[in-house]
Structure 1
Amino acid sequence: MVNVRPAGPDSWPDVATVMGERGDPSRCFCQYFRLRGKAWSGSSPADNREGLHAQVRDGELPPGVVAYDGDAPVGWCAVGPRTSYPRVVASPNWRTDHLDAWVITCFVVPVGHRRKGIAGELVRGALDLARSYGAPSVEACAVDTTAAGRIPSADLYRGPLSVYLDAGFTEVSRTSPQWVLVRRPAG
């Protein structure tokens, strides 16, 4: 049974475990959407790791949710107010008139735990977190995996469209066949 909890100071070791030692998550630590320009290009994996660590440890809001299978951490989903993500605010792919919405920016589900419904559980946990902080709605820029043939798993970090549709999100707009802005009320 998978359960999902907000990331707080006690869960940092679990977040770090999910990010792993190799691959994009271990270099990005969900900082890509939080940094722009030179702040991003000048950051190192160690800087990004410390950035997320500080957000988990010290932030007023949890920066995301962690999925557990029993006691084992098996997934991560970054979620927060749109204003927490300067790259989202500036992106044409995330254009919206819902400036007070929260956004889901990325998922990490390590190899060995994929295709088991964990992303869907993480979306539900992200919605619960957003709702608990009074978010009126939650948006994401989903990946439509049916739009352009096979998509590498590394490109699915924003989450497949099907996961969002299954959680009650609706399509708002498309800026390309694969980039689909989706939204649903947080409540």
Structure 2
Amino acid sequence: MSIEVRPATDFDDVATLVGPKKPTSNVCFCLSYRIGSKENNALRGAQRADRVRELCHQDPPPGVIAYLDDEPVGWAAVHPRSATSFARNRLIPHVDDLEVWSLWCIRVRPGYRKQGISHALIEGAVAHAKQQGAPAIEGYPVDNHGEKVNPTMAYVGTRRLFEDAGFERAAETGSTLDGFPRVLMRLDLRGSHRRSKKAVSVVDSLP
């Protein structure tokens, strides 16, 4: 199976993956960590879509998208930590002063799960961050020890998922989700990283 991962510059594809079912809804679009809480709470309905459309036109865009035969099937939010709410999050520690990138949301469309897309998304997010010059990338998954995670909370990923992509535990956090502690997983991008077992093509931009 070949999965192509591209920077999220197509708003319609982003909306397909993380947009609310009702355009007037005031939830999701993966904005809660990407922008400040004050702005996030103030945006309503179509304003949220407009803000995401704006982010898709910025460099770097707000994340990466996995495609199968040009069909968007998965989303990963990845961006410089300094430009996200994690820069000020008191529960997620700063390991060092590197201009690290954060990978905080991984979502796969229903009907496409258990096909390695989550692994491909992490691999693609890592490649994207490295192409943008990031010295390191980190995620904040739950350490669930193999126990089942509520699907609505699974967007942060699991420690095992990140370990499979070559990340290592760098620190504990003060955050919990669905009853599980979250850990800070880090991958140094100044050297090479281990590729996942799934075939994945990462491209710099859309045609």
TM-score by length of 1: 0.87
Structure 1 gap segments, 5+ residues each: none
1:31-180 to 2 correspondence within 5 Å? 31-57=31-57, 59-85=58-84, 87-96=85-94, 97-146=96-145, 149-175=147-173, 176=176, 177-180=180-183
Distance 1:164 1:158 in 2: 10
Which SS does the other structure have where 1:39 is aligned?
helix
Q: CA deviation at 1:26?
A: 8.4
Q: Check conservation: 1:139, 1:181, Cα contact below 8 A.
A: yes
1:184 deviates by 0.5
% same residue? 33
Number of matched residues? Answer: 181
**Contact preservation (8 Å) 1:81, 1:103:** yes
Letter in 1 for 2:32: Y
Letter in 1 for 2:157: G
Deviation by residue 1:111-170 (Cα, 9 ceiling, x = unmatched): 1112221111001111111111110000111122327x5321111112222111000000
Which position in structure 2 is the counterpart of 1:17? 16
Residue pair 2:19, 2:29 contacting (<8 A) in 1 also: no
Structure 1's 99 and 43: CA in aligned 2 closer, same or farther, altered over 3 A? farther
Mapped partners of 1:139, 1:26: distance in 2: 28
More relative contact order, 1 or 2 (CA 8 Å, 6+ apart) = 2
From the CA coordinates, give the structure whose radius of gyration is larger.
2
Counterpart secondary structure, 2:43: coil
Give the aligned CA root-mean-square deviation in angstroms: 2.2
- 1:183 corresponds to 2:186: yes
Higher helix share: 1
- The 8 Å contact of residues 93 and 141 in structure 1, kept in 2 or not, is answered as no
* Alpha-carbon separation, structure 1, partners of 2:122 and 2:66: 10
Deviation (angstroms), 1:45: 4.2
How far the C-alpha of 1:21 sits from its partner, in A, is 4.1
CA contact (8 A) 1:82 1:99 kept: no
Hey, what's the Cα distance between the residues in 2 that align with 1:40 and 1:26?
9
Cα distance, 1:18 vs structure 2:
1.6
Kept after mapping to 2: 8 A contact 1:28/1:45: no
| CA spacing shift, 1:2–1:26, aligned 2, 3 Å | farther
Distance 1:107 1:33 in 2: 13
Deviation of 1:13 (Å): 1.8
Deviations 1:17-67 (CA, angstroms, capped at 9, x unpaired)? 1225439x982211101233432222224322222211112x021221110
Stretch deviating more after TM superposition (151-160 or 89-98): 89-98
Q: Secondary structure at the match of 1:34?
A: coil
Q: TM-score, normalised by structure 2?
A: 0.79
Contact 1:80 1:103 in 2 (8 A): yes
Checking the alignment, whether the CA contact within 8 Å between 1:103 and 1:140 is kept in structure 2 is yes
Letter in 2 for 1:84: A
